[in-house]
A and B are shown apart, each in its own frame.
Chain A
C-alpha cells in the first residue's frame, strides 16, 4: 500500500533552535518528494521538490534531504523563528501518467519564544 509516514506528530522547540522532521514512504513508482508548510487556517505552500537523482535541496532556512534507497526524507529547519510554527507535510509523487500525490499527515511544529 502506498503510504507516507511522518514523525514526530508534534514538536515544540525554542526560538532560534534547529530541528529535523522525518518522513518515511512506501510509494511506487516513485517520481518526486515534496515538503509543504501549512499555516493554521491556510492552504499548503510548497517548500521543496526533489526528484530521484537529488539528495538535498534548500529553500532559505529549510533544507530537505532524500535517500531513495532507504525511502526516507528529512526536513531540517535552521535557526527557527516564531513564524515557522505550522504543520509540515511530506508528499510523494507517483508517475502514473499524471502526478498522483500521496500525502503524509504532517508534523505540527510549535516554536516557542
Chain B
C-alpha cells in the first residue's frame, strides 16, 4: 500500500513551458485535491475532484488544469508556466468529500521552480 505518490519530486521549468505533475493513490479514495504551499502562507487549494469524471476549481485555479479519468490518478497540468507558480505542490486524498472526520492523506510533494 503506497498511499499517495507524486512525481517528479523536483522540477525546473522555463517561463512559458508546460508540464504535468502526476498524482496517484491506491486507497480507493473518492476525493482528491491539489494544493500549493508557499512560504508564510497556509496550503491553498488549486483544484479538487469528488470522483472519476468530476473536477472543480479551488481557491487558486488560474494557470492550472486537471482531469480525473480514473479513481486512482489525478494529474495537474501547468499550461504555460510563470515564475509566480514557483511553489511546492501537494496532492491529497480522502475516502469521501463530505466526511467530517475523514483523514486526508498527503503525497510527498513536488518542488517546482519556474525561471
Stretch from A13-21, A68-76, A78-86, A101-109 contacting the other chain: A101-109
A7 contacts the other chain (CB 8 A): no
A-B residue pair count with CB separations less than 8 angstroms = 58
B interface secondary structure, majority? loop
* B31:A49 contact, CB within 8 angstroms: no
- Nearest Cβ on chain A to B16's Cβ, whole angstroms: 28
Cβ-defined partner of A32 (8 Å) among B45, B50, B100, B109: B100
* A51:B109 contact, CB within 8 angstroms: no
Counting chain B residues whose Cβ lies within 8 A of the other chain, the interface size class is 20 to 34
* B107:A43 contact, CB within 8 angstroms: yes
A interface secondary structure, majority? strand
Question: Which of chain A's residues has its CB closest to B98's CB?
Answer: A98
Counting chain A residues whose Cβ lies within 8 A of the other chain, the interface size class is 20 to 34
CA–CA, A51 to B101, complex, Å? 7
